[in-house]
Amino acid sequence: MTAELSPAAAAQRPPPGDSARTLAVLGRYLAPLKWWMLTLAALLLASTALNLNLPQLLARFVDGARLGADADLAALTRLALTYIAFAVAVQLMNAAATYLGARVGWQATNQLRADLTGHLLSLDMAEHKERTPGELIERIDGDVTALSNFFSQFAVRVFGAGLLLLGALVMFWRVNVWIGLGVTLFAALTLWAMNRVRKIGVEPTRRERESSAQLYGYVEERLAGLDDVRALGAGEHHLRGFLQVQREFFRNFLASWKARATVWQLSMGLFAAGYVAILSAAVGLYAAGTITLGTAFLLYSYMSMVEEPIDQLSQQLQDLQKAAASLSRIGELLALRSELPSGTQELSAGAPELAFDRVSFRYSPDSEPVLKDVSFSLPAGQMLGLLGRTGSGKTTLTRLVSRLYDPSAGAVRLGGVPTTNLSLTGLRARVAVVSQDVQVFQASVRDNLTFFDPQVPDEQVAAALREVGLGDWLDGLAEGVQTPLPTGSLSAGQQQLLAFARVLLRDPAVVILDEPSSRLDPATEATLTAAMTRLLRGRTAIVIAHRLETVARADQILVLGAGEVLEFGAREQLAADPKSQYAALLRASAGADEESAEALMEELLV
Condensed to tens digits (0 to 9), the pLDDT of residues 547-569 reads 777 788 889 999 998 889 999 99
Contact 201, 259 (CB under 8 A): yes
Alpha-carbon dihedral sign for residues 443, 449, 450, 451: positive
What gap in Å lies between CA 14 and CA 520, rounded to an integer?
51
Cβ distance 168 to 300 under 8 Å? no
Helices vs strands, H then E, count in the chain: 23, 10
What confidence score (pLDDT) does residue 12 get? 34
Compute the CA torsion angle 584, 588, 589, 592 (nearest 10 deg): 180
Residue 134 has a pLDDT of 67
Structure confidence at residue 372 (pLDDT): 93
Give the model's pLDDT for residue 542. 93
* C-beta contacts of 288-297 below 8 A and 24+ residues apart: 291/175, 291/176, 292/59, 292/63, 293/62, 293/63, 293/66, 294/58, 294/59, 294/60, 294/61, 294/62, 294/63, 294/66, 295/59, 295/63, 295/175, 297/55, 297/58, 297/59, 297/62
pLDDT on residue 10: 36
What gap in Å lies between CA 562 and CA 605, rounded to an integer?
10
- Torsions phi, psi of 418, nearest 5? -60, 140
Q: What are phi and psi for residue 318, nearest 5 degrees?
A: -65, -45
For residue 515, the tally of other CB atoms under 10 A from its CB is 19
Question: What pLDDT shows up at residue 413?
Answer: 94
pLDDT tens digits for range 81-98: 988 998 899 889 888 888
Which has the closest alpha carbon to 445: 466, 415, 423, 417? 466
Q: Which residues of the chain fall below pLDDT 70?
A: 1-26, 66-71, 126-127, 132, 134, 149-157, 159-160, 195, 198-199, 201-202, 227, 231, 312-322, 487-488, 516-525, 590-606
Q: pLDDT, tens digit, for every residue of 117-147?
A: 888 877 777 667 777 676 777 777 777 777 7
Residue-level length of the chain: 606
**Helices 144-154 and 293-335 meet at what angle, rounded to 10?**
150
What is the C-alpha separation between 43 and 192, in angstroms, rounded? Answer: 28
For residue 421, the 8-state DSSP code is: G
Q: In one letter, which amino acid is 461?
A: V
